Structure 1
Amino acid sequence: MCGITGYFSFTSPIDKSLIKQMTDSIIHRGPDGDGLWLSENKKMGLGHRRLSIIDLSDAASQPMISPDGRFAIVLNGEIYNYIELKNQLVSTGYTFRSSSDTEVLLALFATEGPACLQKLDGMFAFAVYDNVKQELFCARDRFGEKPFYFNYSPNQFLFASEIKALFAAGVTKEVSSKFVFNYLLYGVSDDINEPANTFYAEVKQLEPAHCITVTSDGKIIKQKYWLLDYEKTININISEAIEQYRFLFRRSVERRLRSDVPVGSSLSGGLDSSSVVLEVNRIKGQSQIQKTFSARFPGFVRDESRFMDLVNNRANVQPVSIFPTADSVMRNLEKIWYHQEIPFGSTSIGVQFEVMKAARDNGVLVLLDGQGADETMAGYTFYRNTYLNELRNSNSGRYQSEVKALKETHQLTMPAEGMKQKILRSGLLPVQLLRNLRKQIIRPDSSFFLGIHPDLVREYKNEPSPFPVFESLKEHLFFSSFKIGLTDLLRYADRNAMAHSVEVRLPFLSHELVEFVFSLPNTMFINEGWSKYILRRSMEDVLPTEIAWRKDKVGYEPPQTDWFSQPQYISIFSEAQEYLMAEKVINRPNSHYLWQHLMISKLLKTGAL
């Protein structure tokens, strides 16, 4: 994993010092070395900060040039199946100078062009310049694990792994008022209708599973190279599904263990991280001690230490625990903001920041993590309602069975069907339309808008809600995986890890595994009230029973409510709200949205509306 930058001028030659300035701003992403490259006509420049993970020698340094001098590449991320791809290329007569995955990707692109994307199992953002065509090709991985930001104007195209590198090149910091409105009202950081947009008007992002070609005369051609088919369902029984899931999950973990530096795992005690830790243990056995990294909150009712200990005691591990506090998160707040760059969800991101630091402090540069399982296998409790609504309309027998299981096995009382559900089932009027109509007719100073200043409300109150009403469980999972939900978590993890020069790898986001999971019947997502049913069944012989069949869902939760009652937090929240009222972003304080107000105040102090 590394940091990459680039500057493509469509007019005059560029100054190499500007590329260095951009690259130096993200030194934390790659403390092991840097590299700069200019094309012969000096209109294309590439920059790279290196975090050495695979092939630690100078032969793997970037920017990397093809043997014939035609192509130059910078890569951020990892190509996990590089060994298999390399063997294929060697069989055709290709000779390699290094053991790096970057050289494999470069050779594959030189051989197959953009079609090579279909063969990649990895997390990546990369750029390749073609000296013959004088074109720049850029691509981002299927889920957006690795970032790729850019700025485009009639004279130039700039790109970087982080927004701050674009600012270092002079890109303006104008904040999008629409993003501020949507974050304050809905808590979202993405625009589902224009996903390339960001909080900053002059900064765009390359969407996951997309690639672009930039020509020397300034034309940009964008393509989507992969689309998950969530409507396809295969005919398979549970035994066959378990066998295939185990195969794909193990292969994903094995590939993500490929490294020339120590690899560890984060462990929360939940189903997902525990599955990763114990699958690694099953692969490695006694040959290698795995370090696990956990955050604990002694005395907190939601502390998961008991479950962490169950996993650590079962595996050949060396556990490392940290104990974040209100003070420690507060001390790190400015650093976290610097690395996150845009609003982030809660103090749990501060806890994750400390976990990543602990990994680096203990000599672990690669960390496996369980992210992605909840969004792809219905781990969150709110998916139950979507599934029940789907069953109510399509399979009344199964619907009654699931409701009974939720009541008896999980002691959950199902709410009575509300007006929204009745209207949705009747088909008389889409609920989404009703929701948007309501927002348009109510007054800008209504409590519906949570204290957002009426001037800002008037500007955007007619915009549609970013949250649709889902007709099926898989539609909801697809939305969470690719629109709003997982995209935020991937950004948090990348920035927190890179702040400490650590690489995070996510076995649950193997695209082959996700494609298989989404092809399964709904009963393998939620079954008799049990979420992530296929994962539970596939790992039940490895996991402690208390974890395999846990009923509660915690999700990396610190005692945030208690922390917010402490004086240092009360003070910064008060300052943030006073600032936002002075800037006419809100017109009154709102004690339920303190964190959102703090985040927007920090954003506006970085840029300007």
Structure 2
Amino acid sequence: MCGIAGVLSSEKMDGGKLSAVLQQLIASLKHRGPDDNGTWINASGTVGLAHVRLAILDLSPGGHQPMHTPDGRFHITFNGEIYNFKELRNELERDGVPFASHSDTEVLLRLYEKHGLAMLPRLRGMFALAIWDEKNRRCFLARDPLGIKPLYYTTRGGRLAFASELKALQVSGFAGSQLDAEALVRYFQMGSVQEPHTLLADVHCLEAGHYLIWEQGRCAKSCYWRVTFTSDEMSGGDAVETVKQGLMESIDAHFVSDVPVGIFLSGGIDSTAVLALARASGHHKISTFSIGVDDAGMDESAPAERTAKHFGADHHAMRLNAERGGELFARFLSAMDQPSVDGFNTYAVSAFARQGGMKVVLSGLGGDELFAGYKSFDAVPRLHALNRAAHCIPLAAGIAGWALERNFYSAKLRRVGSMLRLPPTVKNSYRAFRGILSFHTAKLLAARYLNCSYDSLPELPNHHIKVEDIRNAVSKCELTLYMRNQLLRDSDVMSMSQGLELRVPLVDRVFFEKIAKVPASLRLRAGKQMLLDAVPEVPEWIKNQPKRGFVFPFEKWIEQQWGQEFAAATQKLPFTNPTWFTRWAVFMLDHWLERSAGHARAAIV
């Protein structure tokens, strides 16, 4: 796991200035790779690549990046892990390809040399990468199928600049300062920035499952993989066996490492299943990490400790209250790349695990999205049915929606109102459930921040999700809108701020393609029953407790101890009785804007 960056131009750049910019990029990404760093500039001065390294596979200098093929044609900077790199390497060696290291980076490089774009469907892992072809003067950028590793890019000023974090492009002067209106509206609506947008109009996030080709100043982007459910016919027993086999394979793959691998243990079903499967796969002496909080209704430290003891893990627990949380909060704000209503929990447990000597941890993230762990799997189909029925009555949906949108007391009713005023798509029904603000309120706030009129804001697209089963549609929304744009992004930024690699075995392309064949009626049974059937080792005290996860008592902390920090944010809201996460969203955006103003500068190349 690492950080990558690069600058490309169709014309020669000043060598000294380009070298200085690459060093700026390295400095801004150093936390992602404290073990090593490197740069490469081609002879014609049109390409510069940068890399910071967190050594996980092949700890020797042989894993240094940027890396190149022996003939000097291909050069790579790569962030992530390829879990099936040994199998791919063996295949290449049988074809006579020599290797100088034991790293997955060199396997990627030689695989691209041999197969080009066709290598992408063969990769099992998480990745964001750039490969420069010196002969054809072409750069290839790609991101993993499910969006675990981020990759940001801009073509502002006629050059291509890319990096693992948005703030790296800001600090180096490539990003510009103009806000993206659509991104801002969606941020207020959903609590996170939705790809391919960023909050900055000139910078884009390469979407999950996409690659980009840059050649002579022109970019061409293509999709190579997307979330698709196929739902084959199968019995309940076959479905359980399919899921269990897929889980075991994924857990084994995610333990590929030359350093110890730990586990974040929340006390819930997903992380417990990961620990149970790890033990069943023969992995022992596993370190687990959890956080306890000063709220009995949210504290899962006791069941987590009991579970760790049950499976013989070396457990580590951290106690967190408002005072200690406040101390961590300032550092969390510094680590933020783009604002969201999440991330602090991951920051806290990542810092704790890194202090405990870990460089790699597994998380149970993804289980709720794949096995119906959220209330959305029941609520969204009901909302969607209501929405479709209301639209069958002329003017009824629009009139009711207008009235509900202006309800001053209920955020939920305001969101339902926006749903009724928009086309009756599953996505709009989903946003009414998962969102934090109504579309109407989000536009009001965005207009204030953009200093423009409400009516001048652009219309946002309303894409349909085409799946036969509406619960699969909800699963797709959770995977592509919530998990991808909030959970995975924050998990990457916050874990890497500590130099910690976070792996997610339930968010794995091969695993997904296997279980996507299981009918929704079996896979999405209430209470994550399919996951429990596939992992019977999950103890009863975990099965029978209510879902909580790594959640903190933010509402109590804001009201009792952190109120002064959030007072200004509360005053900006165009309604009374705001939720804690609404105030959080405004506060985080304000802090990000203040910090971004300090980054405003022009690139020196």
SS in 1 for 2:197: coil
Task: Give the counterpart of 1:364 among 345, 354, 358.
Answer: 358
| Residue 392 of structure 1: aligned partner | none
Residue type at the aligned position of 1:536: L
For the residues of structure 1 that align with 2:227 and 2:321, how far apart are their CA atoms? Answer: 40
| Residue 183 of structure 2: aligned partner | 179
Residue type at the aligned position of 1:319: H
| Residue 218 of structure 1: aligned partner | 217
Residue type at the aligned position of 1:252: S
> 1:156-175 maps to which residues of 2 (within 5 A)?
156-171=159-174, 172-175=176-179
Task: Give the counterpart of 1:101 among 78, 99, 104.
Answer: 104
> 1:467-478 maps to which residues of 2 (within 5 A)?
472-478=470-476
User: Deviation string for 1:212-260 (max 9, x for gaps)?
Assistant: 1100x21111110112322x21011121122222221111111111111
SS in 2 for 1:565: helix
User: Deviation string for 1:339-374 (max 9, x for gaps)?
Assistant: 22221214xx32321211111111110000011111
Shift of residue 329, structure 1, vs aligned partner: 2.5
Number of equivalences: 557
Residue type at the aligned position of 1:69: G
User: Deviation string for 1:35-84 (max 9, x for gaps)?
Assistant: 00011211001000010000010011000010111100011000011011
For the residues of structure 2 that align with 1:605 and 1:426, how far apart are their CA atoms? Answer: 43
> 1:75-114 maps to which residues of 2 (within 5 A)?
75-114=78-117
For the residues of structure 1 that align with 2:114 and 2:367, how far apart are their CA atoms? Answer: 35
Normalising to structure 1: TM-score of the pair?
Answer: 0.85
Q: 1:444 to 1:203 in 2, by over 3 A?
A: farther
Q: Which shows bigger deviation, 15-24 or 46-55?
A: 15-24
SS in 1 for 2:293: coil
| Residue 428 of structure 1: aligned partner | 392
> 1:97-496 maps to which residues of 2 (within 5 A)?
97-153=100-156, 155-171=158-174, 172-184=176-188, 186-191=189-194, 195-215=195-215, 217-230=216-229, 232-285=230-283, 288-346=284-342, 349-386=343-380, 389=382, 421-422=385-386, 424=388, 428=392, 434=397, 438=401, 448=414, 449-450=440-441, 452=445, 457-460=454-457, 463=460, 472-496=470-494
Q: 1:220 to 1:563 in 2, by over 3 A?
A: same
| Residue 408 of structure 1: aligned partner | none
SS in 1 for 2:183: helix
The 8 Å contact of residues 3 and 48 in structure 1, kept in 2 or not, is answered as yes
For the residues of structure 2 that align with 1:496 and 1:441, how far apart are their CA atoms? Answer: 37
For the residues of structure 2 that align with 1:46 and 1:437, how far apart are their CA atoms? Answer: 55
For the residues of structure 1 that align with 2:345 and 2:306, how far apart are their CA atoms? Answer: 22
| Residue 546 of structure 1: aligned partner | 541
Residue type at the aligned position of 1:207: E
The 8 Å contact of residues 145 and 491 in structure 1, kept in 2 or not, is answered as yes
Q: 1:8 to 1:128 in 2, by over 3 A?
A: same
Q: 1:92 to 1:436 in 2, by over 3 A?
A: farther
Shift of residue 330, structure 1, vs aligned partner: 2.1
| Residue 569 of structure 2: aligned partner | 576
Q: 1:445 to 1:62 in 2, by over 3 A?
A: same
Normalising to structure 2: TM-score of the pair?
Answer: 0.86
SS in 1 for 2:320: coil
Q: Which shows bigger deviation, 479-488 or 275-284?
A: 479-488
| Residue 69 of structure 2: aligned partner | 66
For the residues of structure 2 that align with 1:10 and 1:74, how far apart are their CA atoms? Answer: 20
The 8 Å contact of residues 48 and 63 in structure 1, kept in 2 or not, is answered as yes
Task: Give the counterpart of 1:597 among 571, 581, 586.
Answer: 586
Residue type at the aligned position of 2:578: S
Residue type at the aligned position of 1:595: W
The 8 Å contact of residues 48 and 62 in structure 1, kept in 2 or not, is answered as yes
Q: Which shows bigger deviation, 469-478 or 66-75?
A: 469-478
The 8 Å contact of residues 409 and 576 in structure 2, kept in 1 or not, is answered as no
For the residues of structure 1 that align with 2:87 and 2:288, how far apart are their CA atoms? Answer: 29
> 1:499-518 maps to which residues of 2 (within 5 A)?
499-518=497-516
For the residues of structure 1 that align with 2:398 and 2:593, how far apart are their CA atoms? Answer: 29
Residue type at the aligned position of 1:562: K
User: Deviation string for 1:189-220 (max 9, x for gaps)?
Assistant: 234xxx321111121110000001100x2111
Q: Which shows bigger deviation, 292-301 or 100-109?
A: 292-301
Shift of residue 589, structure 1, vs aligned partner: 6.4
User: Deviation string for 1:513-534 (max 9, x for gaps)?
Assistant: 112222211222333xx23222
| Residue 48 of structure 2: aligned partner | 45
The 8 Å contact of residues 370 and 524 in structure 2, kept in 1 or not, is answered as no
For the residues of structure 2 that align with 1:605 and 1:21, how far apart are their CA atoms? Answer: 21
For the residues of structure 2 that align with 1:5 and 1:526, how far apart are their CA atoms? Answer: 40
For the residues of structure 2 that align with 1:183 and 1:81, how far apart are their CA atoms? Answer: 36
SS in 2 for 1:296: strand
The 8 Å contact of residues 270 and 365 in structure 2, kept in 1 or not, is answered as yes
SS in 1 for 2:392: coil
SS in 1 for 2:12: coil
User: Deviation string for 1:384-442 (max 9, x for gaps)?
Assistant: 2345x5xxxxxxxxxxxxxxxxxxxxxxxxxxxx8x735625872699x9469946997
Shift of residue 499, structure 1, vs aligned partner: 0.8
For the residues of structure 2 that align with 1:556 and 1:44, how far apart are their CA atoms? Answer: 43
Residue type at the aligned position of 2:326: M
SS in 1 for 2:340: coil
User: Deviation string for 1:549-574 (max 9, x for gaps)?
Assistant: 3362213221222211224x111111
| Residue 13 of structure 2: aligned partner | 13
The 8 Å contact of residues 264 and 288 in structure 2, kept in 1 or not, is answered as yes
The 8 Å contact of residues 124 and 141 in structure 1, kept in 2 or not, is answered as yes
| Residue 526 of structure 1: aligned partner | 524
User: Deviation string for 1:455-506 (max 9, x for gaps)?
Assistant: 5533338546799899711111112111334431001111111111000001
| Residue 395 of structure 1: aligned partner | none
Q: 1:442 to 1:367 in 2, by over 3 A?
A: closer
What is the CA RMSD across the aligned residues, in angstroms?
2.9
Residue type at the aligned position of 2:563: I
The 8 Å contact of residues 379 and 531 in structure 1, kept in 2 or not, is answered as yes
Q: 1:563 to 1:422 in 2, by over 3 A?
A: closer
The 8 Å contact of residues 191 and 585 in structure 2, kept in 1 or not, is answered as no
Residue type at the aligned position of 1:122: G
